[in-house]
Structures are given as C-alpha cells and as structure tokens.
Chains A and B, each alone.
Chain A
C-alpha cells in the first residue's frame, strides 16, 4: 500500500508584484496511513502553504505530490475539486461554517458536491457525523448560536462526512480556550484511533503532544521530524481537569 502522502522537493513561490516570496523551498515528507502529525514552526515558515498544497487548494510551483499513490499535480481543476471532496477533510482556525445555515446543513454540504457516490439519505449521513463529535442535539443551531468549540466540532463533522483519507487542520485550536482545545484534541485522538490520518498545524507545544509525530519547519523547509515522546491522552487530561474542578468547588 502506498503512503497516504508522499511529497518530494515541493516548492511554492508567490509573486507579489516583482518580488518573489519563497514560501516552500523544497519540502520532503511522507505520511503513512493512520499517522497523526503536528506541523510546527515560526510564523511565516510555510505551514499553511504546505497544508493548502496537501489539501489540493493550490498548485505547487514545482516538485511532486502523491496522494494515495496518485500524482495530483497532473489533474484538472475539476478532478482537483473532486479530490478535495472525496479525500480531504479541512478544519480551519476560523471554523469557516456557512452563516445562517444550520449545523446539519453545513455538514450535509460535502455530500451535495459528491459526484462519485449517490447518497440516498444525506441527512442521516450528516447526522451520524454530528453524533461522532457529540453535537446531534445541536443540529438545528446556526453557527452564531453555537460556542467556538461547538462550531469547531461542526467543522470536524463536515470534514469527516465523506470519509476522507486525511483530515487537515490548520491551527484548529487557535481560536479556542485551553479546555475547549483539549476537547477538540480528544475528538482528533478518537478519530485517529479509528485509523484516520490527521495533519494538524499548531503553535502550542502542549497541543502538539497529543499527536504522534512532530514536523518542524523553518523558512520553507522541514528542519526536524521526530515522534512525540511522552504522548498525552486528551481523555485523561479532561478527566483530570474535571476532577480538579470538582475539588475546587467542594
């Protein structure tokens, strides 16, 4: 079985007028199925650029990118859109839910753009995804009626609904407080335990320790790539927090 992601010498150069911005200068990365990566690095090091390329939102300037063994750089724009729909689930820092649209309808959206499967009951499938993130009881709420953590869980349900090969999360906890962040990490760890491959960008060392492997970037290059030692369990951390809260109350 080929690796989920195989990237070779990936380069991305932005043109701002006459100035060339070298966002990625030759990144190599291989991710096997079932891995959970935390991508770290200073601001401007190229993390988001890398995620966008892996997520087929953008084309690289040069280099090769194989997703599930397919060289995606050679694909048409329509096939690119289909890959985003079928193989990629995005979770953004700003949630990116459609406003004035219920949680359930937000999660249904990727099903409507699915040209491969003819899903008879999109609602049931969306509801199942919402159940996975524990939000079935909020399905009729619109984004402005949900907390930040709840919105991010809706976004995760939307990312999962078409059973993607990878979930890409660019600073998923960036807009959340620490407790809510750990809740999101709990969901990610559960999904990863079920075999879903996750790539997550984060600035926080604490958060990166919920992953299995850390990739560090600087100036458009991967400078360190190592497994997480002393991996944390979000479930245990949450229980500990609850216990501490109960103690301080009594």
Chain B
C-alpha cells in the first residue's frame, strides 16, 4: 500500500474515535512531559552549580587534606593529615605555574560592633585571595603583606556583615570585637551573592592569615589552600606541579599515596554535578515508567481496534493486501498515536517547565537533545507496543476475518 494512503487511513481511524484516541495518547503525553520536565529540572540544577562554581574564581585550584593510605589500606577519617601554614609557604616559594596562593583558616566568630552582636565566619587569607577568588574591594582597602607579617588586627568585611553591624554608617574605619579581640575594619568587599549551596558569600570577615591562625587557632594547621593557575591552559600543569611540591614537602615516596588532594574547578564541577546527574537519571527513569504505562494503553486500544476491524482486515486481504500491508497499517496507527502523544507532551513540557520556573524559582533547562530522545522514544513505544496487535491483525486468516461478526 502506498505510504500516503497508509498514513491517511491511520489518521482517519484515529480521528474517528477522537475521545478514545486522546485518552490513549494521554499516557504518552504525561510520560513524555514528565520525562522532559524532570530532566529539565535536573539539568537546571546542574547548570546552576556550574555557574556558581565559575563565580568561585578564575583558574581556581584547591588543596584539601586527605585520608592517607598506608600499604593500600585507608587509614580512615581519623588519620587525616592536616595542612599547615608551611605547606602554603612552600607552594608560594616554589610553584611557578600559579599566580597566587592563599591559605584558608576558617573560624566561627561572634562579632560585636555598632552595638550589634553578629555571628559569622572569620577567614584568614593571604593578600592574593581577592585575585584568586576574582573578588574586589568596594570601599577602603585590602590588607597588605605588612599586615600579614605583623599579624595586624585588621578586617575586611562582606556586605551582609556591614549591613547588619552598621546599617546607616560607613563601616570602614569602625572598630569591632571579634571573639573579644578588638579589630579595625579597613575595607568593604564587593557583593558576591550566594554560592552553589545557597550560602551567602557576603556573610564573611577576611583577616590576615597569620592573625586568624595565631589569635583564633593553634598557630599551626590551616583548613585548605587556594591557588590560581597562571592561565586556563595551565590548570592541569599547575595542579601537577603543586602535587609534586607538596609530595616533596611531605616526604612521600613514589608509590605511596598522597595525604592531600589538589582539585581543579572542573573536577569540583564534576564531583558536585555527579550527584545531581544521578538524581536526574533517577527522576527521568521514574518518569520513563509512565511512558511505558502509556505504551501499554496504546497496546490495549490497538488490540481492541484489531478486533473491531477484523472484517475490514478481511476485506482488505480479499482484495490483495499482503500480511505486511496489514501489519504496516496497524503499526503506523500505533506510532501515529504515540508520536502525536509525544509531540503534545513536548509542548506541555515546554509550557510546564516555564510555568514551573516562574512560580517556584526552580531553574529548568530543556535540552534539545532530550526533546529528540522523547520523540524517538515515543515512536519506539508505538512500534514496541503496536507490534503485537499488528502481528495479530496480519496473522488473521482472510476467510475467518471476512466471516467475523
């Protein structure tokens, strides 16, 4: 049979039972829309993470302490070898492929100033910190190498801290007490917004690394090290170089495992998006189940249709339809049903994800490839679930079909 006629007959029989066809496609509509929206939510979340990590800073590298393996046996969390100020210094002296190194020492701090009590974090960093984090000063100035050498009690505060302590005053020049230590505010940071976990990055107080290390901590261990590679192309080389320098400093022989990890930005993105990706996959798979349920609905209706149209099949066979003609006819019908369901489902998902973003602030990202996958998948559902009914129709004996009442 000519394909135009096959398609014409399909549409005619689908339109003949409008309501039934619509209800049958509804399963596919819901399935496809659900898959696309779920995946869009997942991808939206991933994109947000990526964007946020990029706000961390340019060519960012991070060094964290790690659990040490001895003879292939992990020594567990208790065996964490912590990083020291000396690690930051040795990197500062020897690393050629980085343009800035900063230790990071974080301490919870109770800040009193302007008659207000504010709980925040004080971070001890080096003068390179702003460059590394791609940050800047809004007002006043940042501390200098001298401040670090002399462990000066100066602080640069973030916008949130400023807004809370000195709502209607210029914070620069004000005196505050941090965990009972008097300090002077010398600068105000530019506003940075929230990070990937939704934490306010402006709720921060920066001080010279030495000040925090010796006044608020034990004077030895730091939390992590930030560094910035000289160029995006050098990120991997810089990462390797830092690893080599630290292995030397820690006297780790070849074959022994490191007691630290150097992360670069893309690895961090990887780690964080791996979780969301798994979640996306899971959501998509659950939504995919509803597609299969939709397919079963199509199969059911196609079986009804084959029974209803047994006589028609007999007539077509008596005038020369081959088995393959009958088969194609019913397969086309099933695919037409599922594909129109799929297309409507795509429209629903496009509108739905937009409404969702507007109403709930959940970010969605509809990927064109998932739309393509949805089209292909709904066609596949039609073929898969239409196959059995179509086979049943094609296998009918002409005479039995003609005699069917």
Partner of A98 from B5, B315, B402 at Cβ < 8 Å:
B315
Given that A58-B398, A112-B1, A112-B5 are known contacts, is A86 also in contact with B318, CB under 8 Å in the complex? no
Q: How far is the CA of A40 from the CA of B328 in the complex (A)?
A: 39
| B312 and A98 contacting across the interface, CB-CB below 8 Å | yes
Given that A58-B398, A100-B16 are known contacts, is A110 also in contact with B322, CB under 8 Å in the complex? no
Would you give the 0/1 interface string for A32-73, flagging 1 where the beta carbon is closer than 8 Å to chain B?
Answer: 000000000000000000001001011000000000000000
On chain A, the residues within 8 Å of B398 by CB distance are: 57-58
Q: Nearest chain B CB to A116's CB is how many angstroms away?
A: 10
Given that A57-B318, A96-B402 are known contacts, is A77 also in contact with B5, CB under 8 Å in the complex? no
B317 within 8 A of partner (CB):
yes
| B320 and A81 contacting across the interface, CB-CB below 8 Å | yes
Which bucket holds chain B's interface residue count? Answer: 20 to 34
| A113 and B316 contacting across the interface, CB-CB below 8 Å | yes
* Residue of B12, B312, B315 contacting most chain A CB atoms (<10 Å): B315
| A96 and B318 contacting across the interface, CB-CB below 8 Å | yes
Which bucket holds chain A's interface residue count? Answer: 20 to 34
| A86 and B399 contacting across the interface, CB-CB below 8 Å | no
Q: How far is the CA of A85 from the CA of B320 in the complex (A)?
A: 4
| B1 and A90 contacting across the interface, CB-CB below 8 Å | no
- Give the contacts of A66-103 with B (CB-CB under 8 A): 77-78, 81-82, 84-86, 90, 92, 96-100
A-B contact count (CB 8 A): 61
On chain B, the residues within 8 Å of A52 by CB distance are: 399
B283 within 8 A of partner (CB):
no
B2 within 8 A of partner (CB):
yes
| B319 and A110 contacting across the interface, CB-CB below 8 Å | yes
On chain A, the residues within 8 Å of B402 by CB distance are: 57, 92, 96
B residues neighboring A (CB under 8 Å): 1-2, 5, 12, 16, 311-312, 314-325, 397-399, 402
- Further 15 A-B residue pairs, CB within 8 A, beyond A58-B398, A85-B319, A113-B320: A57-B318, A58-B397, A77-B323, A81-B322, A82-B322, A86-B320, A90-B318, A92-B402, A96-B315, A96-B318, A97-B315, A98-B312, A110-B320, A114-B320, A162-B320
A residues neighboring B (CB under 8 Å): 52, 55, 57-58, 77-78, 81-82, 84-86, 90, 92, 96-100, 109-110, 112-114, 158, 162
- Which 5 residue pairs spanning A and B have beta carbons closest together? A85-B320, A113-B320, A81-B322, A110-B319, A57-B398
| Sample (16) of A-B pairs whose CB atoms are under 8 Å apart | A57-B318, A57-B398, A57-B399, A58-B399, A77-B323, A78-B323, A78-B324, A82-B322, A84-B319, A84-B320, A85-B319, A90-B319, A96-B315, A96-B318, A97-B315, A114-B320
